[in-house]
């Protein structure tokens, strides 16, 4: 049964432990704020771990979402993945990956109760030339069949594409602008998705934390605001999840230390943004590649 997302009021972060069952690690308890962090392991499985904003922070044991879903193919970039278990004895998994410089729309059907056994898998080629990109950020919502993809190229140019499904088939990618000036950026995640703008949250190699507010109008004209000026340079990956009406849980992953740190972030407002450090996550983040999971029914992020 497809789970319903439960959002805590505001940033109430002293919450009950999660429970999980089945292949998709579904059904956390009500009023729990959490991030469903994922990755690709050294043996090429995709996995997840629920990082719960309890006090102290708690982590559900790692679950295998899919066993070797890419057939041993090396994956260099991944978007956030979504899952939907409202399909009888199978769970549907969807995401975007880059392998060998080629972008693919990826999908798997996974048999429930088998520890991630893949019943069928597909990689639909989108296009080549992706070896020069270092981040991949997908803005999506169940309520809107059209989504947007943001990617940062190695030279600091940020690109946007509109992804529009065609008659239920493969996506049609439409270039929707680019903007230079982001060469110092190290990690990016989605902070907000609305009907008129997306907001990205980014760290720099110098340690700053910024919001990048991007109106959906053309041409692409980001509005950048500093949130913090230092101490954020250690994170190679950022992951976000909605918590309450205006709050966001933020997970920063330090790949060198294989460590994760959890933060409660208030509605973004430049340097006035409230950020509460919740502490180090009691788990090892040693996967080859990190990304986040989301249920298809999750409410859109609204962190700014």
**Confidence check: pLDDT of 78 > 70:** yes
Half-sphere exposure in the Cβ direction for 50 (13 Å, CA) = 22
Q: State pLDDT tens for residues 113-134.
A: 999 999 999 999 999 999 999 9
Quick count: other Cβ atoms within 10 Å of Cβ 8?
21
- pLDDT score for 87: 94
> Please, which residues bridge with residue 193 across strands?
198
CA distance 210 to 279: 21
- pLDDT score for 10: 32
Contact 148, 161 (CB under 8 A): yes
| Three-point CA angle 147, 222, 128, nearest 5° | 50
Q: State pLDDT tens for residues 90-107.
A: 999 999 999 999 999 999
Contact 107, 93 (CB under 8 A): yes
State the average pLDDT over residues 293-301. Answer: 94
CA distance 193 to 300: 6
- pLDDT score for 211: 98
Residue of 266, 222, 257 lying closest to 237 (CA atoms): 257
Tell me if residue 131 falls in helix, strand or coil.
helix
> Considering the entire predicted model, what is its pTM?
0.89
Residue with tokens 């788990």: 283
Quick count: other Cβ atoms within 10 Å of Cβ 208?
19
Rounded to the nearest angstrom, the gap between the alpha carbon of residue 213 and the centroid of all alpha carbons in its chain is 17
Least confident of 30-34, 53-57, 267-271: 30-34
Own/partner pairs for 118-127, CB < 8 Å, 24+ apart?
118/66, 118/67, 118/68, 118/69, 119/90, 121/66, 121/69, 121/70, 121/71, 123/70, 123/73, 123/97, 123/99, 124/170, 126/96, 126/102, 126/171, 126/173, 127/102, 127/103, 127/173
Residue of 191, 39, 166, 193 lying closest to 105 (CA atoms): 166
pLDDT band at 145 (very low <50, low <70, confident <90, very high): confident
Count the helices and strands in the chain (H runs, E runs): 0, 22
Contact 159, 173 (CB under 8 A): no
Encoded tokens for 296? 């298809």
Contact 151, 169 (CB under 8 A): no
Q: State pLDDT tens for residues 215-233.
A: 999 899 999 999 999 999 9
- pLDDT score for 28: 34
- pLDDT score for 106: 96
- pLDDT score for 162: 96
pLDDT band at 31 (very low <50, low <70, confident <90, very high): low
**Confidence check: pLDDT of 24 > 70:** no
Helical H segments across the chain, by residue range: none
Contact 275, 264 (CB under 8 A): yes
CA distance 235 to 261: 9
Residue of 107, 21, 83 lying closest to 296 (CA atoms): 83
């Amino acid at each position: 049964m497809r789970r319903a997302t439960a959002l805590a009021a505001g940033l109430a972060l002293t919450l009950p432990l999660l429970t999980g069952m089945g292949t998709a690690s579904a059904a956390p308890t009500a009023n729990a704020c959490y991030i469903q962090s994922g990755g690709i392991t050294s043996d090429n499985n995709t996995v997840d771990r629920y990082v719960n904003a309890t006090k102290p922070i708690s982590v559900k044991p790692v679950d295998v979402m899919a066993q070797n879903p890419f057939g041993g193919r090396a994956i260099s970039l991944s978007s956030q993945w979504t899952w939907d278990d409202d399909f009888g004895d199978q769970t549907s998994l969807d995401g975007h990956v880059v392998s060998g410089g080629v972008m693919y729309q990826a999908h798997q059907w996974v048999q429930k109760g088998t520890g991630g056994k893949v019943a069928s898998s597909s990689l639909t080629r989108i296009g080549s030339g992706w070896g020069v990109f270092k981040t991949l950020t997908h803005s999506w919502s169940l309520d809107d069949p059209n989504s947007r993809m943001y990617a940062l190229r190695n030279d600091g140019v940020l690109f946007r594409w509109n992804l529009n499904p065609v008659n239920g088939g493969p996506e049609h990618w439409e270039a929707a602008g680019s903007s230079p000036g982001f060469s110092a950026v190290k990690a990016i995640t989605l902070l907000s998705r609305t009907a008129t703008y997306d907001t990205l949250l980014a760290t720099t190699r110098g340690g700053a934390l910024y919001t990048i507010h991007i109106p959906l109008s053309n041409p692409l004209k980001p509005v950048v605001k500093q949130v913090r000026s230092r101490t954020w340079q250690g994170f190679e990956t950022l992951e976000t999840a909605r918590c309450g009406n205006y709050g966001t849980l933020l997970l920063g992953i330090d790949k060198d230390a294989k460590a994760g740190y959890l933060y409660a972030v208030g509605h973004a407002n430049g340097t006035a943004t409230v950020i509460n450090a919740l502490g180090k996550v009691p788990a090892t983040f040693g996967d080859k590649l990190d990304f986040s999971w989301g249920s298809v029914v999750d409410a859109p992020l609204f962190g700014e």
